[in-house]
Every structure is written in structure tokens, then in C-alpha cells.
Structure 1
């Protein structure tokens, strides 16, 4: 048998604990494989993911755990023979991994940046440990979670040959309404991030302090022990992907909070937007440039920048309008932002890059 159609070296496929990469890879690659492609995923074995492994044997690709760079060398032939090889952001020893891929692969090479604004800031500061400017310029294709003006910046400032947006997406088969009665008025699902915490304070914790008659939930790991949670905020340390629909279904509204670098860059939709919408839960989100290209404020999503706006939504939007917002958002996401859509985009982008490689100079 010939080599795989696609080899992916990503942060994690096997564990969704403490990272947003796993659900992205799972949705994208399962849809890509369903279109007839053979995929090999190479993941650096890490103890914190091993302790929280929730997909040890995927049915849509071959998953291999490797110990270190020397162990990765065992898969050099697969990397060389693949039609395309994709390296993700935050891969351990990503610079060394990228150099090996670019020196070895005979097919298309791509970098998939699931953290683009963070990457750009680290590249500018010289502190990025998974990508360097020369590596960014060496990939045939730079795929980015962030669209808009950032794509041109990647090409101008860092020499990326072809920077293209490939947003996150949702597995529409796994994420759907569960029909449960909400237990929480507002719920947030996400790993702790220091730059995101002030907005979480403003849009959930402070509303909870002001309204002890309402119920709130924050689900996700790594929150510091010193945070003073109001009594009406339920803390859940981790919700696995299989339980995401039930969590969203338990919320009258789902909160989306964006990391500071993503807000500054704009055009960086979170996977939580698509997941909550697909589950039929209306969303309250902080504002950022480009949000209106994903969901229409006031019609498909509620935008709030402060505590007062959150409470106005919780108190002032009647149930029938809340349900209508959720229906419209679900229809919008299912029409443009599923894993099937994104896998088709990936195929087109890889084919275009392959054609560019063989085109005469």
C-alpha cells in the first residue's frame, strides 16, 4: 500500500484535557477521512494527556504516540511518501519537527496554526518554540484559525507563501440539541487563560454576584485555587467532548469569551461558538472584529461587553426570541461551519498547493 494521503503532527488527538486542539483535529480529520482519505496522526506522548486520554483508538485515522524526536524518526518514510504533511501549532519541539518535515516530505507541507495571534506575537518577540520565521516561509501552505488582515501580515512579515484561513468547525453528528431543560442561566466551557479571565469576571462572575437568584456554571481545567467563585456558580473541572452537548443543553445561554490576542486580531471564531450553536443553545459573546461575518449580532448571537449587557440579555429577552436566536444560529452554522465544510476546504487548499508546486516558474 502506498503512503497515507495526509500525515498530521499535532499537539493532541488522544486527549481533550486542557487544550482546544483535540476537538478541532477530531472533527476535521473524521470528515476528511469520510471523504476517502487515509490519515496518520503522530502525537508526542505527554503524561498529562496520558492521564486524561479520551480517544485512544480513533476509527477515522491511525493514531501513533511517539516518545521524542529520535522516536519520531521511525515515521520518516510515511512523512516522505504522504501526499501532504501538516504540522500544528504548539507541537513539542515544533521547530525541529518542522525542519524534519520540510527536509523529508515530497508532498505538500502545511502548517496549521490553531493559535495564530499568539504565534505572531511570539514570533515578533523571538519566543515562539514551535515555529520560526524561516520555517513559516518554508511551508507550502500556512493555514490559520484567524482570517482577515492577519493573513496578509503572515505573508508580508514572515514570508508565508500562501496564508489561508481554515477556521475551526463542529462535528454536526456529535453536536446537536439534547432536549433537556436548562439548569443554568449562563454557562461557560473553556480552559483557564489569564488573559481571558478579566472578561470572564465581567461577563459571568460579576453577574453571578449581582444576581444570586440565577444559576451559572464554569467548566474547564486549570483555574487557580485563589479565584473566589460566588455560591451560585457551579464549577466543573472537565467536560469531555462526548458530554459537551449535555453541558450546552443544560444552559439557557452559553458564554463565549475570546483570548486577548484573538480579540486584537479579530476574525478568530472559537470552536465553542459553533458547538453551542449546533446544540441549539443561544450564545452571549464578547465583541470582536469579524464576529458579524460568522453570526449576526442581535439576530443569531447576543453581543455583550459588560455586566449590564449580560444581565439585560438574561432578564430582557423573552423565551420565544431566545429560541429564535438559537434556531437561526444553528441554521447558519450547519450551513457553513461543519467539519464536512472544513474538510472540503482543506482538500481544495491542499490541491491548490500541490498544483502550485508543479507549476512552471
Structure 2
């Protein structure tokens, strides 16, 4: 099949947490013989902060944003694709794109809205009965999301979606894997995540509070936007960490932390990309609690779970190097066996070919 994706960026993870999701899924679709073109706007300095050159497994088209005409040219280029995907959060002309891709609908193709932040999208639609996206949802052939489980599926179906299918984050074994430790990232606990409005308070609660409670331990914070954030003296801020350093960042600390955004924690069933990237590197992962975690990793054996900063600190107190190694290796085995992007590409292919169940709760990808 010939796929056309309209998304934020394939080649830059700068202020673009979905980049590794797109890369893993698209790389594995290409490995299964499909042809993919990814259309992305030249926006938010992403092209100046690229993590990778243009890949050989997809055609990447960067279009200008001063007017809508470059976007319209990209749509004309995509018109002949078998599967046309508009992702959420492109960042430029989103509303226009959401309507325009539906004009490309033909009897022989499939048009998908792919929501990489379903909790935020649904909250926005529910808050505004006049949101123009509400009327578009039933017109898409299907909605795919990268998380949310039954709560998100039910919410989209209630809004008239023809079908909703979570295609969860996963491990891209080509890019995330164990590597030697790197002294730059030596610490007791590391956290990697951009500063976002519905994450900041939870970072304070789970990460900064734990650091303040354990002044004798070293904490590392990576991600964009935290430069002016007050932090305990034992927290070192790294700024943006390029994806080429993610494996070392995950492998080197005694443990790494996952903190869900508030909306994703509220909906549950929304494992972040870093969950699988850390597990794929063999890291010992501590995560905040969210419903559905056990569908992906087994608490206390493959992941440690905390409900606040005090519990994060308590985990660090009890975590020996031997136990950290055992947890990381157990998680690595599980994600390689069940949660790679090869699994997700196969799931999507089955869905598009009609081989998948059309009334599943959206959890089949965890099997």
C-alpha cells in the first residue's frame, strides 16, 4: 500500500515527542513492503534541530507555512495514496488539514485521523460543542490513537467515529537498545520530557519533590523548556537531549523515571514512548501510576510504580544495582517479545486489510 502521512515531523524530535513513534511505525511499515511519504511543515525551528537525515525508508516532504498554498500542494501530491493519514498536533493549519484530507476521500482509499494526544483532543472537543473537528470525526474511515484504551475508544465512538483503534507506542529495536554507560548521564534518577502545561505539576510532584527529599543523590533532567524552572541543587538540567543520546541517557542512571501528562494519566492505557524506549535499553524504569500499566509491563518485576515523589524516593532507597539490572532485563525481554513497532505495523496492516476485529476495545496490540 501507498501511505501519505501529514504530521508534525519525522526527522526532528525538537518539541515533538511523537517523532520516535512515527519513525518506528513507518520504518516497520516500509519493512513490510509499503511505500510511505511523510509531509511536515517547516515550523518551530524543527528543521534546524533535526535528529536525522532524510531516511531511505520514507520520502520526507517539508513544506512552507507562510501561506496555505504549500500545504495545498502537498495535499495534491498525496491524493493518489491508498491510505491518507492526518495526525493530531501538526502545529500549523491543523483545522484546515483535518477538513482538507477528507476531500481526498475516494472509494478505493482510506482516510484516517491519527490522534497522538487523544486525551487533549477529546477534552477540547467536549469543552466546546462548536469545535469544528466534532463534525469531521464521523467522516473519517477510522480514528487511530497511540493510547487511551477503552475510555478513548468509547469517547470517539460516542462522537460518531466509524471505528477507533489504539495503536500503542512501542519499541523501535533499530534505534533503542542497550549501549555502554556514559559518564555524562551518571546519576541516581533521570527524567526526560519537555516542559508542558499538563506535565509540569506532575514533574514537581514526582521528580523535583523526590530530589528535594534525597539531597545526597544526583538527579538529571533532560528536555526543552525547563531552563528557568526552580530546582533543588542536586538536579542537573541538560536541556534538549537529542535522540542519538537517548540510549545512553536510559542505560546509565541507576533508574529512569516516566511521568505521564495529567490528561493521559486520567484516561489511562497511555504508555508514553519513553516507557518502551527505556525498557528497550534495559533500563530500570520507575513510572507514575496509571490504569492499564499491567497490560504492558508487570509491576515490581519489570517496572516500579510510584504514586508520588515520596514513593519514588523510597524506590531509590531500596534499589540495589542488582535489582535494577534484573528489572531492566525483564522489561527488555517483554517489550522485545510483545511490544515492538513490528507488532504495531502488523496490527495496522491487519486492520486495513479487514483481518482485525472491528469491535475490539483497542487492546489487541498488547497480546
TM-score with structure 2 length normalisation? 0.90
Comparing 245-254 with 47-56, which one deviates more in the overlay? 47-56
Give distance in 1, aligned partners of 2:317 and 2:349. 45
Mapping 1:134-283, distance limit 5 Å: 134-145=135-146, 146-156=148-158, 158-180=159-181, 183-223=186-226, 225=228, 227-283=229-285
Deviation at 1:184, TM superposition (A): 0.9
In the alignment, is residue 71 of structure 1 matched against residue 70 of structure 2? yes
8 Å contact from structure 1 (residues 267, 288) kept in 2: yes
Q: CA deviation at 1:154?
A: 0.6
Unmatched segments (≥5 aa) in structure 1: 357-361
Alignment-derived partner of residue 300 in structure 2 = 298
For the aligned residue pairs, the C-alpha RMSD in angstroms reads 2.1
What per-residue deviation string (whole Å, max 9, x for no partner) do you get for residues 193-249 of structure 1? 232222222222122222222111000001251x22122111011111111001111
Cα pair distance change 1:328/1:16, threshold 3 Å: same
Determine helix, strand or coil for the equivalent of 2:181. coil
* Distance in 2 separating the partners of 1:218 and 1:252: 14
Hey, what's the Cα distance between the residues in 1 that align with 2:259 and 2:130? 24
8 Å contact kept, 2:87–2:113: yes
CA distance in 1: counterparts of 2:41 and 2:130, whole angstroms: 18
How far off its partner does 1:317 sit? 2.9
Q: Tell me by how many angstroms 1:190 deviates.
A: 0.6
Supply the distance in 1 between the matched residues of 2:334 and 2:321 (Cα, whole angstroms).
20
- TM-superposed CA distance for 1:355, in Å, is 12
Question: Could you say what secondary structure the match of 2:232 adopts?
Answer: coil
Task: Show structure 2 runs of 5+ residues with no match.
Answer: 359-367
TM-score by length of 1: 0.92
Deviations 1:304-340 (A, max 9, x none): 1122211221111333222211111111111111111
Q: Could you tell me how far apart the structure 1 residues matched to 2:328 and 2:53 are?
A: 34
Please name the residue that 2:101 is paired with.
101
Q: Shift in Å at residue 76 of structure 1? A: 3.8
- In structure 1, C-alpha distance between the alignment counterparts of 2:40 and 2:50, rounded to whole Å: 12
Partner in structure 2 of residue 85 of structure 1: 84
Cα shift at 1:57: 1.2
**Counterpart pick for 2:287 among 282, 285, 288:** 285
- Contact residue 220 and residue 237 of structure 1 kept, 8 A: yes
Segments of 4+ moved more than 6 angstroms = 353-356
Q: Deviations over 1:64-90 (max 9, x none)?
A: 111243112223444221110011001
Report the equivalent of 1:359: none
Change (3 A) 1:63 1:354: farther
Give the count of matched residue pairs: 350
8 A contact 1:304–1:310 mirrored in 2: yes
Once residues 267 and 142 of structure 1 are traced to their aligned partners in structure 2, the CA distance between those partners, rounded to angstroms, is 16
Q: Flag the 1:282–1:122 CA change in 2: closer, same or farther, 3 A.
A: same
